[in-house]
Amino acid sequence: MSLKGKNIVIGISGSIAAYKIATLIRLLRKAEAEVQVIMTNEAVQFISPLTLSTLSNKPVLVDYYKENTGEWNNHVHIAESADLLLIAPATANTLAKCALGLCDNLLLAVYLSAKGPVAFAPAMDLDMWKHPAVQRNIQLLTQYGHDIIPPGNGELASGLIGEGRLAEPADMLAYINHFFQQSKPLFGKKALVSAGPTYEAIDPVRFIGNHSSGKMGYAIAAQLQKLGAEVTLVSGPSSQPIPASVKRIDVVSANDMFNAMQSNFSDSAIIVMSAAVADYTPQEVATQKIKKKEEQFSIALTKTKDILSHLGTLKTEKQTLVGFALETNNEIAHAKDKLQRKNLDFIVLNSMNDQGAGFAHNTNKITVIKRSGEEFPFELKSKDEVAQDICALIVEHQQSEGLL
């Protein structure tokens, strides 16, 4: 997941576990987050500010002001700019000071100035963690509305084995990702998207297919994930990279796609059928490669299952079902007919007559038609931007139907 544009302020207190924060910063920077590190004077004894500054690409803040220049580190500004303040490792001493509202260093001043979300990742020895005073402070911080990232269980610096280890960097990153997902409109929703072509086998080496690249479906899957949905992408053969945090199910034929879409349909609140599914498939598939002998050669074809129509019969009032129509003539009329026949909430119309739209292009020009008949024409845009337009209408539909 991308955390691009998110400003994470990490407060490090004096614990041997501080070394884990170097890895966390690297993971956050890889996810495109901005990271500002604040350290207590005790924390500096365990890991070098230079190391963390290099990883975060920002000066590490320790004191209220810089001795050489007298420049003030404005704790109010730091707190207000944070999308999340994470205090990790949070020692028993720092937890107590935060719980009681004490303020004797820059980190505590930032904490007391924070109006936004705050999370603590405790780290200490087993007996300290279990002490009633520490548990009381944890309870107080929870009552303040702060999150606690539970410590892990394992070998501790003292040699004891038990609870108290700082959560692993990957676990802290998972918490941060989950935290930001919760604020998104489609958080908690499952989405099912189909993309790409289907290949209908003629013999072991030949097939009937089409020119779909899957770009549009992949862009929609990526955008739904960015909006907080848990996305399953059912993809025909495509070279497109898998969007971050999206589950991909690979299929080949129309029948494969039918089975995958049907299996995942009932759990999904949002279904977008953007795949270019073959309308016909060979009636018989040769078990051996067909040799080129005859001057003329014909293949008997049979209709494939109409996936979108079938899903339309299964659709409930709690689901948003979106289909696509690629037309060459009487576009609006044909799209509206398909919209009603297949029980869709929206249909996305592409016209083969529009330059830069359709298969293989990086751009698309669409008109979205609602069940009510209302039309939303859009100009030629990149497929990522088109995906944003489609997904904005999906969110609006979920909201208007009282599903969000």
At 360-373, the pLDDT tens digits run 678 889 999 999 99
Amino acid at 75: H
Strand runs labelled E in 170-261? 190-195, 200-201, 207-208, 230-235, 247-250
The 8 Å CB, 24+ separation contacts for 352-355 are 352/326, 352/327, 352/328, 353/328, 354/380, 355/380
| Residue range 283-294: mean pLDDT, rounded | 91
The predicted pLDDT at position 158 comes to: 76
| Residue range 370-388: mean pLDDT, rounded | 93
Per residue in 96-152, pLDDT (tens digit) is: 999 999 999 999 999 999 989 999 999 999 899 999 999 999 999 999 999 999 999
Task: Report the mean per-residue pLDDT for the chain.
Answer: 92
SS3 state at 258 = helix
Length of the chain: 404
The CATH number, out of the four listed (2.60.120.10, 3.40.980.10, 3.40.50.10300, 3.40.1260.10), of the domain defined by the range 190-400: 3.40.50.10300
The CATH number, out of the four listed (3.40.50.10420, 3.40.640.10, 3.40.50.1950, 3.40.50.1010), of the domain defined by the range 7-182: 3.40.50.1950
Res 196 pLDDT > 80:
yes
| Residue range 166-183: mean pLDDT, rounded | 91
> Comparing C-alpha atoms, which of 41, 50, 31 is closest to residue 11?
41
> Comparing C-alpha atoms, which of 97, 101, 103, 157 is closest to residue 133?
97
Per residue in 209-254, pLDDT (tens digit) is: 999 999 999 999 999 998 999 999 999 999 999 987 899 999 999 9
- pLDDT band of residue 155 (cuts 50, 70, 90) is confident
- pLDDT band of residue 357 (cuts 50, 70, 90) is low
| Residue range 328-333: mean pLDDT, rounded | 88
Per residue in 52-91, pLDDT (tens digit) is: 999 999 999 999 887 776 688 899 999 999 999 999 999 9
Distance between CA atoms of residues 242 and 288, nearest Å: 33
Res 161 pLDDT > 90:
no
Q: What Cα–Cα distance (Å) separates residue 209 from each residue in 58, 202, 305, 325, 349?
A: 52, 10, 16, 17, 21
Distance between CA atoms of residues 274 and 272, nearest Å: 6
The predicted pLDDT at position 361 comes to: 72
| Residue range 377-403: mean pLDDT, rounded | 93
57 is catalytic: no
Q: Write down the residue that tokens 């993971």 correspond to.
A: 27
- Measure the N-to-C terminal CA separation of the chain; round to a whole number of Å: 22
| Residue range 282-286: mean pLDDT, rounded | 94
User: What residue spans define the domains of the chain?
Assistant: 7-182, 190-400
Instruction: Give this prediction's pTM.
Output: 0.72
The predicted pLDDT at position 93 comes to: 97
The predicted pLDDT at position 79 comes to: 93
Catalytic residue among 74, 93, 210, 259: 210
Distance between CA atoms of residues 105 and 62, nearest Å: 8
Q: 378: buried, middle or exposed (CB in 10 Å: 19+, 13-18, 0-12)?
A: middle
Res 154 pLDDT > 90:
no
The predicted pLDDT at position 164 comes to: 83
The predicted pLDDT at position 65 comes to: 82
Same fold, 7-182 and 190-400: yes
The predicted pLDDT at position 358 comes to: 60
> Higher confidence at residue 180 or residue 193?
193
Res 404 pLDDT > 90:
no
The predicted pLDDT at position 356 comes to: 62
Per residue in 1-25, pLDDT (tens digit) is: 578 889 999 999 999 999 999 999 9
Helix (H) or strand (E) holding 85: strand 84-90
| Residue range 299-326: mean pLDDT, rounded | 96
